[in-house]
Amino acid sequence: MKWNVEELTAGRTFETTFWPNAAEGTQFKLRATHLDGRRAPKVVLSNDDRIVPGQPCVVRIVEIDKADRPDRGRIVVEFVERAPFKIEGMWLDPVVSKKLQVLLQSGLNILLDGPQGCGKTVLARSIAESLGMVFVFFNCGAVVEATDFLVSIQVRASDSGSPVTDFIKTDVLVAIEEAMEHRDRRYLVFLDELNRCQESARNALMPALDSTRRLFHPIDNTFIPIPDNVQFIAAVNRGREFTGTFGIDAAQLDRFAPLQMDYPPPAAEVEILQRRHPALPGATLEAVVAVADAIRKAKDLPGSLSVRATDEACVYLAHPLFAEDGKRALPEILKTSFCARFPGRWDDVTTDAGTVWGVVKKTLATLRVPVPET
């Protein structure tokens, strides 16, 4: 969403995040593009020394220049106070949150390391939205060769029937090229499942992640620089339950500042689900999360249970087809949302899914939720 200039008046306060102003010939050293998470109709500028680039703050509008011109003008603001670093829709450990703020302000590459479905992608997207950055998602699972990070090769038939090779730029390359043209914008490139591509392909990224800050452009057959307004965040899943993954070696890890993530504590997960599914009773949400927490703590399971699973269960429970049944529908729904995420069948105790069903029944029994005999 975007503000209308008529909605903004001198003296009004907003939360925003400033970055160094790269525009040539400007008298303002700091620049922002969003106010309270909405895009501003004009560039937001300040010279207030109390503002720290990359750190959320509350500012007050001092002046709106050329308010009647849609193509010109500026919004000049002054510092009011620091604002808390907020990530909407998810839980983040307070210590990890502080570390994250430091890394974002420093411009270092960040590696999010945690179990599947703990919120790594949501966190990266929320960071971009909170800080007014352009979010660029790239799944490394499709990378086979080093050049796949920047270009995909597609072969098609020409009008004459002979094969033609097309070089299609990836979102990563498009973002780098745009960042070089638009120094006033900041780009957050999210490399999801980095350890799903082979080590030889990941090695091609290393010059982009260290002080060299460049990548080989396979179309132009030359190296291109990575501008300062591009920041990388990568995510990895680890554990023997993940197929097709590769280890990150020491040299590659050294290009990142690692952050360990985990599932939210039960109380925080209940709060998240309550915001997403306000119609569900608190007792039902607590039961869903209690079962999920028991599964995550089970020692004889090779995998774990993502927060997507608890959200999916709540989607079922909130639907009119199941809402009338209340907690009575819970066991059947958890067979699908929880047990089906593990190998095997829920009614086969020799499989992981059967083990999960045993945890489900035991936990529901402690909560006095009846489980029909099947």
What global pTM score does this model have?
A: 0.77
Kindly state the average pLDDT of the residues 15-40.
Answer: 88
CB 229 within 8 A of CB 272: no
Which among 24, 54, 82 is the end of a domain?
A: 82
Residues 111 and 237 in one domain: yes
**In degrees, to the nearest 5, what angle opens at C-alpha 119 toward C-alphas 287 and 32?**
130
Determine, yes or no, domain membership for 235: yes
Is there a single domain that holds both residue 16 and residue 50? yes
Q: According to the model, what pLDDT value does residue 175 have?
A: 94
Mean pLDDT of all residues in 101-109: 87
Between 338 and 199, residue with greater pLDDT: 338
Domain shared by 270 and 256, yes or no: no
Mean pLDDT of the region 27-32: 92
Q: Residues 270, 284: contact at Cβ < 8 Å?
A: no
Q: In total, how many domains does the chain have?
A: 3
Q: In this structure, are 153 and 293 located in the same domain?
A: no
Categorize the per-residue pLDDT at 374 as very low, low, confident or very high, splitting at 50, 70 and 90. Answer: low
- pLDDT tens track for 169-201: 999 999 999 999 988 788 999 999 998 888 888
Provide mean pLDDT across the span 333-341. 94
Same domain, residue pair 302 and 350: yes
Task: Kindly state whether residues 106 and 244 are assigned to the same domain.
Answer: yes
**End position of a domain, from candidates 260, 293, 325:** 260
**243 and 334 co-located in one domain:** no
Residue 127 and residue 25 in one domain: no
pLDDT of 302 over the 90 cut: no
For residue 37, give its domain range: 5-82
Q: In degrees to the nearest 10, what's the CA dihedral of 40, 43, 44, 48?
A: 170
Same-domain check for residues 273 and 252: no
Least confident window among 78-92, 178-192, 291-305: 78-92
Q: Work out the average pLDDT over 106-128.
A: 89
CATH number at residue 19: 2.40.50.140
SS3 297: helix
pLDDT value, residue 270: 95
Give 151-169 pLDDT, tens digit per residue: 887 777 777 777 777 788 9
Token pair recorded at residue 253: 């890890």
Per-residue pLDDT reduced to its tens digit, 59-79: 999 999 988 887 788 999 999
Asked whether residue 178 is domain-assigned, the answer is yes
Give the model confidence (pLDDT) of 215-266 as tens digits.
Answer: 988 888 889 999 999 999 999 876 544 544 557 778 888 899 999 888 899 9
DSSP assignment of 70-135, as one string? TTS-EEEEEEEEE-----TTS---HHHHHHHHHHHHHT--EEEE--TTSSHHHHHHHHHHHHTPEE
Is residue 374 in a domain?
A: no
Quote the percentage of the chain above a pLDDT of 70.
97
User: Given this model, what pLDDT does residue 239 score?
Assistant: 54
Whether residue 371 is contained in a domain is answered as no
Same domain membership, residue 292 and residue 247: no
Mean pLDDT of all residues in the chain? Answer: 88
Are 182 and 241 in the same domain? yes
